[in-house]
Structure 1
Amino acid sequence: MEKLLFTGGTGFLGRNIKPILDKTYEVTTIGIMDADMIKANFVTDTPVLPERYDVVLHAAGKAHIYPKTEAERKSFYDVNLTGTIHLCDALEKVGLPKAFVFISSMNVYGDEPGKMDTEDSRPLSGDSPYADSKIKAEEYLTTWCKKKGIKLGILRPSLLAGKGAPGNLGAMVNGIRTGIYLSIAGGKAKKSMLMVDDIAYLVPLLVEKGGTYNVCDDHYPSFRELEKTIARQLGKRVPISIPYWMAKCLALIGDKLSFFPINSKRLNNIVTSDLFSNEKAKRELGWKPMDVLENYKI
């Protein structure tokens, strides 16, 4: 059984996919969490690895916060870029893997909503600290892997659905659970989403072929479909939908009060569809994505 080094393997992604990966690989997790098998801080030091690994799955990263200070902005580069460089330095000391899989993000394309965009139809224009640090990590790994003869696979996942999901999906679940969630304008906007399990199924395909891929399911769920799916699992009523004008008034308040649950930027994200094409991954890897609405369990 091949050996796989999994960074970020004890977070949301790892908790969901490590049991699947364990069936194919001998998995070792590495990171700063107590549950990690190898304790290492990629930001401050080059980690010390005990052996060579056949495959590296690099999912450790910083996300899900909006930086308010220069120190917070810098922390994205410290974790997402410097941490990646230190990991590569550590791999060189114990022997190089045959394949390296990097979990990037759709955010590398910038804030403009996707319109079934492919990997080559728009530039990497993301300028937030999160997006830019991911772009720079992709660039570093592309150069490093080419120089070292390592097969590189880069995944740009859309919104991940899975048990214990963080971010916007987690906020939706908590809002519906507590009864403080309101649907907006009928929840018609659709979003690219990916079942977190699919990351595990994509890894061996990337080890074999490499490449850079947008990954999402074929359904592109609407907000209303997600709301109904979550409410059903929680045994709650489907949230009331308020008209756009009312939501806009609330968002204007949120623009002035940072603690308010909605502002104009978040409102725009909620009412605007954001869709990316998964055709390249299906065509080149022979991948068949899971349907989020059929498989998502809270």
Structure 2
Amino acid sequence: MNILLTGANGFLGRSILEETSENYNVKTLSRTFGDYKIFLEKQIPVFRENFDLVIHAAGKAHSIPKTVLEKKEFNDVNVVGTLNLLKGLEQSNMMPKQFVFISSVAVYGKDLGFNIDEEYPLAALDAYGLSKIQAEIAILEWCEKHNVICTVLRLPLLVGKRPPGNLGAMIKAIDKGIYFNIDNGKARKSMILVTDVAKFIFIAVNSGGIFNLTDDVHPNFNELSKALSNNEKSYFSIPLPIAKVFGKLGDVLGNHSPINSVKVKKITSNLTFNNSKAKQLFNWKPKSVLEYIKMVDIRDL
């Protein structure tokens, strides 16, 4: 199988590349790494070979836009970049048989909720969530037009070695001794191992479909913080009313504050997603994020 992997130098892309490179002929595309060094938001790629499978993992995430320009970057990278990729495949007259798009549970537009499944409306209003919705629609329409089997994976927080984003920030705070929970760390969040995502691609790719992928535990912040410190420490917790006061103070301070009301709400709200579709169709059995963290040092370089 000949595979094109975009975003091959990203957190998830590296795991997918590791999972695929030994058994398949993988060509990689990213801004500074791989066989095709391309800024997809600026260029339409010219491909030199046929691909049986395209895995589109390139995209912009892990930031909260503060300006109109930063919001536009989400559209440029996630929407325009996707359209340019599709145009490149069309112009080369080398249609893949299968296309996998790495999307996000952000498309649902929820800050709190329980057991949200794939039938939930796509209600995102933020720049990131909207860009993922638009990219999903474009890919699904393109695949239908060209008779390509399409798989869309909507992912929550990704867990693996050297994680970026919020989990990486949490690990740094724990290592510096400045981490604390809010409201006893009761809020549960869906998570998934990057290795499970990489493996699931080849479970679902022949059938296609839209899938939420999570582990079955949906750990809370207290469980996660203990696992990250090898169960050696219980963390101080700020009562929710006090945290809300700090959040309002942060609203006034703006960018100079590490916390605001929005962050307090997200940290203290349950947000979990349903993975029953993947399990029922493929008898998929994801690994527990907490058990993985207890066995593997995800700080490992």
- Bin of the TM-score, shorter chain as denominator length: over 0.9
Amino acid corresponding to residue 248 of structure 1 in structure 2: K
Match of 2:239 in 1: 243
Q: Is contact 1:118–1:278 with CA below 8 Å preserved after alignment?
A: yes
The separation in 2 between residues aligned to 1:175 and 1:28, in whole angstroms, is: 37
- Quote how far apart the aligned CAs of 1:66 are: 1.6
Within 5 Å, give how 1:51-130 maps onto structure 2: 51-92=49-90, 93-120=92-119, 122-130=120-128
Match of 1:224 among 218, 222, 225: 222
SS at match of 1:176: helix
Match of 2:208 in 1: 210
The separation in 1 between residues aligned to 2:23 and 2:156, in whole angstroms, is: 25
Q: Deviations over 1:144-191 (max 9, x none)?
A: 000100000000011111112111111111110111111111111111
The separation in 1 between residues aligned to 2:112 and 2:20, in whole angstroms, is: 32
Q: Is contact 2:111–2:269 with CA below 8 Å preserved after alignment?
A: no
Within 5 Å, give how 1:7-18 maps onto structure 2: 7-18=6-17
Within 5 Å, give how 1:274-289 maps onto structure 2: 274-289=271-286
- Quote how far apart the aligned CAs of 1:238 are: 3.5
Amino acid corresponding to residue 251 of structure 1 in structure 2: G
- Quote how far apart the aligned CAs of 1:264 are: 0.9
Q: Is contact 1:231–1:238 with CA below 8 Å preserved after alignment?
A: no
Q: Is contact 1:50–1:94 with CA below 8 Å preserved after alignment?
A: no
Change (3 A) 1:278 1:165: same
Q: Is contact 2:19–2:198 with CA below 8 Å preserved after alignment?
A: yes
Match of 2:140 in 1: 142
- Quote how far apart the aligned CAs of 1:249 are: 2.1
Amino acid corresponding to residue 78 of structure 2 in structure 1: N
Unaligned 5+ runs, structure 2: none
Q: Is contact 1:101–1:206 with CA below 8 Å preserved after alignment?
A: no
Q: Deviations over 1:83-137 (max 9, x none)?
A: 11111111121511110000000000003423111111x2101011111111011
**Stretches of 4+ aligned residues off by more than 6 angstroms:** none
Amino acid corresponding to residue 267 of structure 2 in structure 1: I
Choose 259-268 or 18-27, whichever is displaced more.
18-27
Q: Is contact 1:119–1:213 with CA below 8 Å preserved after alignment?
A: yes
Amino acid corresponding to residue 40 of structure 1 in structure 2: I
Q: Is contact 2:6–2:28 with CA below 8 Å preserved after alignment?
A: yes
- Quote how far apart the aligned CAs of 1:5 are: 0.7
Match of 1:157 in 2: 155
The separation in 1 between residues aligned to 2:112 and 2:291, in whole angstroms, is: 25
Match of 1:47 in 2: 45
Match of 1:189 in 2: 187
TM-score, normalised by the number of residues in structure 1? 0.94
The separation in 2 between residues aligned to 1:174 and 1:14, in whole angstroms, is: 23
Match of 1:31 in 2: 30
Amino acid corresponding to residue 290 of structure 2 in structure 1: L
Match of 2:289 in 1: 292
The separation in 2 between residues aligned to 1:59 and 1:15, in whole angstroms, is: 10
Q: Is contact 2:111–2:266 with CA below 8 Å preserved after alignment?
A: no
Q: Is contact 1:51–1:94 with CA below 8 Å preserved after alignment?
A: no
The separation in 2 between residues aligned to 1:72 and 1:272, in whole angstroms, is: 26
The separation in 2 between residues aligned to 1:248 and 1:113, in whole angstroms, is: 17
Q: Is contact 2:216–2:286 with CA below 8 Å preserved after alignment?
A: yes
Q: Is contact 1:176–1:239 with CA below 8 Å preserved after alignment?
A: no
Match of 1:254 in 2: 250
CA RMSD of aligned residues (A): 1.4
Choose 109-118 or 74-83, whichever is displaced more.
109-118
Choose 175-184 or 240-249, whichever is displaced more.
240-249
Q: Is contact 2:104–2:154 with CA below 8 Å preserved after alignment?
A: yes
- Quote how far apart the aligned CAs of 1:16 are: 2.7
Q: How many residues align?
A: 293
Identity of aligned residues (%): 43
Q: Is contact 1:104–1:154 with CA below 8 Å preserved after alignment?
A: yes
The separation in 2 between residues aligned to 1:289 and 1:23, in whole angstroms, is: 22
Match of 1:269 among 252, 262, 266: 266
